[in-house]
Amino acid sequence: MAKNMSTEKVNCDACPILCRISPGKTGSCDRYGNIDGKLKRMDPVILTQKVIDQNQTLVPFGEQAQQWDGSLLAQDVPLNPESIFPTAVGAGTTYPDYKPAPFIIASKHNEVDMVTVVTEGIFSYCSYKIKIDTDRYVGPEQASVRCQGEQVGHVITAEYGSQMLSLGGVHHLTGGSKQEGRVTCQMMMDLGNRKAVELEVDAGSKLTIQAGAAPIIDGNQEARMRVGCGSATIGIFAQQWYGHVDEVIVVDEHITGMLSEHQAGRFLGMEPSGIRVRGRRSTPGRYFQVANPGHGWGGTDVSDPLEIIERVKEGVAYPGLRLLMVSTTGEDAAYYELDEKLKPAEQPLPQVLQKVVDRIGENCEPALCSVLFMAGAGGSLRAGVTENPVRLTRSVRRMLTRTTCGGAPAYAWPGGGITVMVDVTKMPENSFGSVPTPAIVAPIEFTMKLKDYELLGGHMANVLRIEDMIQQSEARISNWNEDNPWPFA
């Protein structure tokens, strides 16, 4: 990895920056330092250990994980090779990979010889897909998303009950100004390491996003993800409303539902209420575009739900008609009865209806921000695995090779190349780093049978047994995240 350039400095070739590091100092990425005249990775390699027998004691995973004191793992923790999965966190990198990956580790599992190739990839072609569980308006589709005033991504197509963002990517890392690249890189590293990041959408909202935490939108923390659209909510709870109310309107920015017209209401034998809502009727009881998107009822800009009622038809509606208006999360609800002039007059919400409104809330899942790291593991990274990189791509596609990131399962997209996507909350904490180019540093592991690795044209001369690897390198052990599938299974 390095050679002494003089008695004072060492040269680091872990990335194209090629830092010359003075004694006691670290390089520009803070990942490598000059310790006693030798180049060292400043963080330990992270090995994870799975519980195989009930008497096995492991150190905690995550925030309470054991702090590395610089000692070798073999001196501190009894090793059962069958229970160890080596992650690439702290393994170092060999970019550009004209030489084998930092560690190519052989082990035996269920009497099968396996190999895991680990490296910290340097990714320029990488981004995050952010899922924000909310109906609140965050901004128009394709609107720019900014961090510290710099454009770092954009709003993409909304999904069911969630707003979606695409953040980072090579265009923002390298295609804009130096400041844009620096801000984008820091934002991406923080998101991957599960820190809170403040963003602002052009013509939209201010957001605070943190993996595994509820989103904060314009200073308000979301609590619930909607149970469904307005039509779905009608279908779910129609039977529970029947007989207690004459009309229910579920306000929703996408599809507002109306019980008496809806197929569910017709199935129950409900009579038309004579109430007509604004917007474009799709099918009976389903209305589009009843209001603009916003922070009000059901993700609309409506604060008074009566605004969406276009008219009440005489001769069909009648005094005393009972009307419930509710949002898709149950956070907003109001009950009305028509007066002698067929005007809705608000009344206290009957307990029997409050029970159903509460059940809507009960069926809403907690609002969360999901942060998925997406990267293209191509180019020279594959050369660190095999001298014939296309064979690795084919092996991943044929599922002979399992791809993980810090031990977390990575979904490999179909098509050419190795494009992976992984939930950062499944990865060890502080898995992400950066280099000043700028680019993101993230762990990636390729696990396969040893015989398949040899057929790939793998770097067999560099294969180490797990026991030998530990003797040669500083390492820290952490217990396996039991939410993840075991890569050797």
Q: Is the pLDDT of residue 53 over 70?
A: no
Q: Is the pLDDT of residue 216 over 60?
A: yes
In a domain, 68, yes or no: no
In a domain, 82, yes or no: no
Residue type, 257: G
Beta bridge partners of 370: 131
Q: Which residues of 266-296 are buried (b: 16+ CB within 10 A; e: fewer)?
A: beeebebbbbbbebeeeeebbbeebbebbbb
* 328-374 pLDDT, tens digit each: 999 999 999 999 999 999 999 999 999 999 999 999 999 999 999 99
Q: Is the pLDDT of residue 2 over 80?
A: no
At residue 384 the predicted structure's pLDDT band, cuts being 50, 70 and 90, is very high
Please give the Cα distance from 13 to 122 (Å, whole number): 13
Q: Is 424 helix (H, G, I), strand (E, B) or coil?
A: helix
13 contacts 1 by C-beta, under 8 angstroms? yes
CA distance readout (Å), 80 to 442, 466, 472: 27, 10, 17
Element of type H or E holding 264? helix 263-267
Q: Is the pLDDT of residue 433 over 60?
A: yes
Q: Is the pLDDT of residue 75 over 90?
A: no
Q: Is the pLDDT of residue 59 over 50?
A: no
56 or 412, higher pLDDT: 412
Q: ω before 96 within 30° of 0 (cis)?
A: yes
Q: Is the pLDDT of residue 54 over 60?
A: no
What pLDDT, on the 0 to 100 scale, is given for residue 123? Answer: 93
Element of type H or E holding 113? strand 112-123
Q: Is the dihedral of CA 71, 115, 371, 170 positive or negative?
A: positive
Q: Is the pLDDT of residue 180 over 50?
A: yes
* 7-42 pLDDT, tens digit each: 689 988 777 778 898 988 888 777 788 888 888 877
At residue 1 the predicted structure's pLDDT band, cuts being 50, 70 and 90, is very low
Number of Cβ within 10 Å of residue 370's Cβ equals: 18
At residue 91 the predicted structure's pLDDT band, cuts being 50, 70 and 90, is confident
Please give the Cα distance from 142 to 338 (Å, whole number): 43
Q: Is the pLDDT of residue 63 over 50?
A: no
In a domain, 350, yes or no: yes
Nearest to 322 by CA among 349, 295, 299, 296: 349
Segment 289-298 shows an average pLDDT of 94
The two three-digit tokens of residue 360, written as one number? 């809507």
Segment 256-280 shows an average pLDDT of 96
What pLDDT, on the 0 to 100 scale, is given for residue 206? Answer: 98
CA angle 443, 448, 451 (to 5 degrees): 140
What pLDDT, on the 0 to 100 scale, is given for residue 66? Answer: 46
In a domain, 427, yes or no: no
CA angle 437, 440, 446 (to 5 degrees): 125
Please give the Cα distance from 67 to 71 (Å, whole number): 11
- Average pLDDT of the residues of the chain: 90
**What are the residues whose beta carbons fall under 8 Å from the beta carbon of 8, sequence distance 6 or more?**
22, 23
Segment 186-211 shows an average pLDDT of 98
In a domain, 48, yes or no: no
Give how many domains the chain has, as a whole number.
1
Q: Is the pLDDT of residue 397 over 80?
A: yes
What pLDDT, on the 0 to 100 scale, is given for residue 7? Answer: 61
At residue 156 the predicted structure's pLDDT band, cuts being 50, 70 and 90, is very high
Across 41-45, 54-58, 476-480, least confident range: 54-58
Q: Is the pLDDT of residue 473 over 80?
A: no
CA distance readout (Å), 134 to 197, 218, 219, 233, 243: 17, 13, 14, 16, 31
Segment 43-50 shows an average pLDDT of 87
Q: Is the pLDDT of residue 64 over 60?
A: no
Q: Quote the domain boundaries for residue 237.
A: 230-362
At residue 115 the predicted structure's pLDDT band, cuts being 50, 70 and 90, is very high
The pairing of beta strand 247-251 with beta strand 103-109:
unpaired
What pLDDT, on the 0 to 100 scale, is given for residue 379? Answer: 76
Please give the Cα distance from 239 to 187 (Å, whole number): 48
316 contacts 274 by C-beta, under 8 angstroms? yes
Nearest to 136 by CA among 301, 330, 370, 308: 301
What pLDDT, on the 0 to 100 scale, is given for residue 61? Answer: 40
Segment 192-204 shows an average pLDDT of 98
157 contacts 138 by C-beta, under 8 angstroms? no
Residues in the chain: 489
At residue 79 the predicted structure's pLDDT band, cuts being 50, 70 and 90, is low
